[in-house]
Structure 1
Amino acid sequence: MTAYSLISSTLLTLLLVPTLYAMVELRKERRAKKKAAKRAAKADVPPQPEPAEAKEAEPAKA
């Protein structure tokens, strides 16, 4: 039983949690971009392009 709990907690910590975090952050960014585009369209202002480094996904730092 101890080995199972050790393996499952390791998988949760190293795989599931970072994956869920990345999914949530990506969704937040997409919603913010959509909201900004909506505001820009409402104000008749062209949307501003994102900086090049913001488009690239940075690897997670341990």
Structure 2
Amino acid sequence: MCEASAFYKNQESEETLILKDVALLKPEEENLWFLVNIFGEQKEIHAKLLEINLLQHKIIFQKI
């Protein structure tokens, strides 16, 4: 599978899970993201995108 998990990263570089198995990541407007996983669970978050690491299957955001 090619899904990734989305995380928030804090100042201490600790990661907190937002959503597992993300299949869709869609920008809605500046710093507003819509995420949907393979099970249909949806989340909308206000965050800055820091990194997408496809080898590690991670999408990293920073809360704003």
TM range (shorter): under 0.3
Q: TM-score, normalised by structure 2?
A: 0.21
Asked which structure has the greater CA Rg, the reply is 1
Instruction: Name the structure with the higher strand share.
Output: 2
The normalised TM-score by structure 1 is: 0.21
| Larger RCO of the pair (alpha carbons < 8 Å, separation 6+) | 2
